[in-house]
């Protein structure tokens, strides 16, 4: 089992920045992919960004150039730096950890961007 604890959400004005963190504990395994997805009210959960344990990243087109994902393997922590935030970025952001055994999700953290 893997436990994920997210932090860093909140309320920010359009154009502002937030940094999300997600710490993983338990049976994480050294080879894994971590990332973030988001879900706005009434919409499906969509991928935001992922990063492998070797550092390969992937971003949704809607956040390219504005968001940056990184990780600290020693701390089993993944970060999402969100800049130039837009009202359409408002959603619950979920951390994800995927290894050979299974996929795990955090409880979610709310990000609200006011116009």
The runs of H, that is alpha helices, within 14-76 are none
- Within 8 A by CB and 6+ apart from 48, the residues are 35, 36, 37, 38, 59, 60, 63, 67, 80, 93
**Alpha-carbon distance values, 7 to 27, 40, 52, 78, 91 (Å):** 21, 18, 20, 11, 14
Q: DSSP string of 61-102? A: GGGTTTEEEEEETTTTEEEEEE-S--GGG-EEEEEEEE-SS-
Contact 70, 78 (CB under 8 A): yes
Residue 62: what pLDDT?
97
Q: What is the pLDDT of residues 43-74, one digit of tens each?
A: 999 999 999 999 999 999 999 999 999 999 99
Instruction: Name the strand (E) or helix (H) holding 110.
Output: strand 109-114
What is the predicted pLDDT for the residue at 31?
83
**What pLDDT is stored for residue 30 in this prediction?**
79
Instruction: Tell me what pLDDT residue 78 has.
Output: 96
Note the pLDDT tens digit of each residue in 22-51.
999 988 777 899 999 999 999 999 999 999
């Amino acid at each position: 089992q893997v436990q994920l604890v997210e932090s860093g959400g909140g309320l920010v004005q359009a154009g502002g920045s937030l940094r999300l963190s997600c710490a993983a504990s338990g049976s994480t395994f050294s080879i894994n992919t971590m990332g973030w997805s988001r879900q706005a009210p009434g919409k499906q959960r969509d991928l935001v960004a992922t990063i492998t344990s070797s550092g390969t990243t992937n971003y949704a087109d809607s956040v390219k150039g504005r968001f940056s994902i990184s990780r600290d393997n020693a701390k089993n922590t993944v970060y999402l730096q969100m800049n130039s935030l837009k009202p359409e970025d408002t959603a619950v952001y979920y951390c994800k950890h995927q290894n050979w055994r299974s996929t795990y999700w955090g409880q979610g953290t709310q990000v609200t961007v006011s116009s």
